[in-house]
A and B are shown apart, each in its own frame.
Chain A
Amino acid sequence: MKKIKLLCGSGALFAALLLSAQAKINVVATLPDYGSIAREIGGANAEVTVLAKPTEDPHFVDARPSFVVKLRQADVLIDGGAELEIGWLPPLLQNARNPKVEAGQPGRVEASEGIRLMEVPAQLTRAAGDVHAMGNPHFMVDPIIAKAVAQHIANAFAAVDPAHAADYQANEKKFEATINAKLQEWGAKLLPYRGQSLVAYHDSWVYFAHRFGFNVNIFLEPKPGIPPSPSHLAEVIAQMKAQKIKAIIVEPYHNRKIAEKVAESTGAKVVDFAQFPGALPDTDTYVKLIDALVNRLAAALK
């Protein structure tokens, strides 16, 4: 009898092991930065799919029906939770009908949860342009925030797939250690330029600026989401000359020609930046992306 029990027990254990060995968790990330970190944490145990392309404007992604299929099969969904994806994620979720990734479920990671967002508008008015009610949602370019998000993702993975909880926590520790070491390198590289002012096309660099000690308060867009006007650009040029600003940050989907014109009349350099891993050459991971940003900025300010 005992023998049979033991046999059954070991059989069940074996079956469970087999099951867990082949079952990868299906992870969908709305944006490539969450996707990159999810891959680091998930390792071989997670299949990660990213919806938005790294080069496109994350505010306006098409709610393609193929995304519905991906969301329907998801065990975990990672989104910003700060209304960056508000124009396209809600109808997808409505159509996907996947209770596992509903808000509040263990399979749903809203990355901004627990993050203190900057630039929370005191008053909501669209006269100020495309402002985000919950605050500036472009927070992932601060590596310290990325660590907090990585922890959040690891916890969700562990909750959804307890068999590999230790792996996820170990991968998270590894990611954290890498960021801690890299922060020394990045901080040292940018230290000579600390306190300088930069110009950006869109207000998406406040967290990066805060971390590495830059001021990014002048934008080519007169208001978030509103295309640059000649009168506003004239003002920007005057300010840049007065403050001797040396760099203009543009992202892949911005109109680079406008930045080039401003650069021409001010002697500043146009620096190609991106929020998302994969948008710049050889930046397929989060760490490589920040590497590229730091190197590009240091080169431009030299």
Chain B
Amino acid sequence: MKKLFIVVAALGAQAAAFAQSPSPASSPNDVEVLRQQVQALTETVKALQQQVKEQQDTLAKMSPEPGALPANQTTAASPPPAASAPPLFPTSDQSVVASAPAPAPPAAPVNGAFPTTDASVTTSTETISSTGAGASLTAPITIAGGGKTYMNISFDGQFSLAYSSDRNLAQLETGDHDPQQRGFSARNLELALDGAVDPYFEGFANIVFKLNNDNETEIEVEEAFMQTTDLPWGLQVRGGQFFSAFGRINPTHPHTWDFADDSLVHGRFLGSDGLRGVGAQISWTVPVSWYSQFIFGVQNGRGNTGYSFRNPGDNGVFYGRLTTDREARGLQDFVYVPRWENSVDLSPTQTVLAGVSGAFGSNETGANARTQIYGVDLLYKWKSPRAEGGFPFVKWQSEAMYRRFEAGRGVDDLFPVAETFHDWGMYSQIIWGFKKGWTAGLRGDYLHMQDSAFTNDPDRQSRSRVSGDMTWYPTEFSKIRLQYNHDFLEANDFLAAGEADSLFLQFEFILGAHGAHKF
């Protein structure tokens, strides 16, 4: 640009001088003079060009590139209109072009020197900061990616087509988002929002719509919470409605699961909807050389989402007892969820994550009945050093839980006995991402519910299950999964033994900007 301006100015000056000289009618001599003058002019321009180029090279060597830094750009991008009004008005202006230049080969090297600067690679437009600092509050919210929005908004639709030899699929499956009936189910249509609230907080919300077996719409505020971003010493505080940090499956949403349904132990101990509720949580990353984090949460634990805790049960009955369904009497009625997790890399391609969790609170089957759940979890993952799209990989995940449940005599003290159940269960699953977009999985489940001569609740049946599935992810925004389950139900004092075969075809899509998932 500068070069052009100088050349043009030089031309203008020459032309002015030329115009002022007397020019009588043309004669052969005059033509010759003219020719010589034009030739001289051309030489001058060439010399000037060379001079400008040399000066620029020296400048480039001495100082940073023009436009190498955002701060320097205004000078390089748009020079003011030339004051001396050159005869040639610029007919192009790179600074007004918003989009990238066409990837055409740059000008051929001059005098054998390869250009070492290129003003077209830098931009003068300010990059919009993702923190939102300095952004106008009156600007409209645009719903698009590109880091130019105030929040991520996405919709996730998950559906399944199911067949089972058991007519009561809703009882056989332990999760509320699992296939619920023979035929089609739509149990997880999820609107997810997240973004920075201000420089101090970020906010998340997951609103789940689901269709029941009569195709009526149900809505559930699965999560809605804010958490700090700016606390010192590795601390973070969260408040709102959220999934308790217990084990691997509980804090995650069903669309991230590796199988179409919930594990038996999670569904029967932490509940078909997972352990979640309104509360607060603090976490601390321990300043040691490996990854180590303590998490401690306090929640109401009331209702069906506090399944083993202050859960009034269906029609006011839980495990055969008439429940109390009371207001919190004191601190003993909240659910306390501590967790400690640690992770190390065994090698550049292998990672292990291990955690211990607990959940402690009271339950509604008696005046002073309490529940304790303990869990351990282990995750091992291998990923190829030449992974494409995240494949191939092997992921092995296991969780075991033990629950001590004090079942009282009910609100009316009429239940014949008070019992303490010692229940335990576990699952172990291995997922093999064998080629880009394809995974195969195998899962084993076991659930041991202590026998009782007084409780005929079908949820207290001991059982086991093997599952196999194959999933195709056309991209990370869609998936199609085929899964087979074989269930073994064990006989107890009230319920007969049984077996069931089930087949699920699950399909899912995600629209919009969906927040990235944790490890």
Contact = CB atoms under 8 A, between A and B. Distances in A.
B113 A184 contact: yes
Nearest to B121: A145
A64 B385 contact: no
A151 interface: yes
B348 interface: yes
A59 B516 CA distance: 12
Interface of A: 53, 55-57, 59-60, 62-66, 68-69, 72, 81, 83, 86-91, 94-97, 99, 102-104, 110, 112-120, 122, 124, 126, 129-130, 133-135, 139, 142, 144-145, 147-148, 151-152, 155, 177, 179-180, 183-184, 186-188, 191, 194-195, 206, 209-211, 213-216, 225-227, 252-255
Interface string B488-519: 00000000000000000000000000011111
A213 B516 CA distance: 37
Chain A interface main SS type: loop
A62 B516 CA distance: 11
Chain B interface main SS type: loop
Nearest to B289: A69
A115 B121 contact: yes
A227 B437 contact: yes
26 contacts: A60-B387, A60-B388, A62-B390, A68-B291, A72-B234, A91-B515, A94-B229, A97-B285, A102-B131, A110-B127, A113-B70, A114-B123, A114-B127, A115-B121, A116-B121, A116-B122, A118-B101, A120-B99, A126-B475, A134-B146, A142-B121, A148-B122, A184-B113, A194-B108, A210-B103, A216-B103
Contacts of B518: 63, 91, 95
Nearest to B388: A253
A155 B229 CA distance: 26
Given A64-B519, A113-B70, A97 B147 contact: no
Nearest to A82: B147
Contact of A133 (B144, B387, B389): B144
A294 to B, nearest CB: 12
A155 B381 contact: no
A279 B396 CA distance: 28
A53 B348 contact: yes
Top-5 shortest CB links A-B: A187-B114, A133-B146, A213-B105, A65-B343, A65-B291
Contacts of B116: 144, 179-180, 183-184
A103 B129 contact: yes
Contacts of B475: 126, 129-130, 225-226
B103 A118 contact: yes
A97 B146 contact: no
B381 A62 contact: yes
